[in-house]
Amino acid sequence: EPEVTQTPSHQVTQMGQEVILRCVPISNHLYFYWYRQILGQKVEFLVSFYNNEISEKSEIFDDQFSVERPDGSNFTLKIRSTKLEDSAMYFCASRAGDYNEQFFGPGTRLTVL
């Protein structure tokens, strides 16, 4: 069964460093998402991406964040200068155009020290 994959599973970084979180969505899906979950809190929407551009972003998704689909298979989330409060679990999700379920990856745990 096809699945969304994410790498790395755990990333530790120093405050102020750049990180790139990687996702490989399901191959025939057209819509891509990033969500984050701070430990013990709800899952929050960050950004949606369709047709090689951002379709919606939340207030959390400020200028420090960017997304890219560089090669038609990977979908990346970059945080330019990490802050302590960026520590969270980051989930990638994808959705086919003709069905509304979002399939989630296993998540990347980001720890900012």
Partner 1 sequence: AQTVTQSQPEMSVQEAETVTLSCTYDTSENNYYLFWYKQPPSRQMILVIRQEAYKQQNATENRFSVNFQKAAKSFSLKISDSQLGDTAMYFCAFMNSVDYGNKLVFGAGTILRVKS
Cα distance between residue 14 and residue 31, in whole Å: 31
Those residues whose C-beta lies under 8 Å from the C-beta of residue 90, and which sit 6 or more positions away, are: 6, 21, 34, 35, 36, 37, 46, 77, 107, 108, 109, 110
Rounded least distance, CB 33 to partner 1, Å: 7
Which position among 82, 91, 94, 110 is part of the footprint of partner 1 (CB under 8 A)? 91
Beta bridge partner(s), residue 57: 47
Site for partner 1 in 47-86 (CB under 8 A): 48, 50, 55-56, 58
Binding mask 93-112 for partner 1 (x = CB under 8 A): x-x----xxxxx-xx-----
Is residue 1 within 8 Å of residue 100, measured between CB atoms?
no
The nearer residue to partner 1, 14 or 99, going by C-beta atoms, is 99
d(CA 36, CA 47): 10
The correct pick among 17, 28, 41, 73 for binding partner 1 (CB under 8 A) is 41
> Which residue ranges make up the site for partner 1 (CB under 8 A)?
31, 33, 35, 37, 41-45, 48, 50, 55-56, 58, 89, 91, 93, 95, 100-104, 106-107
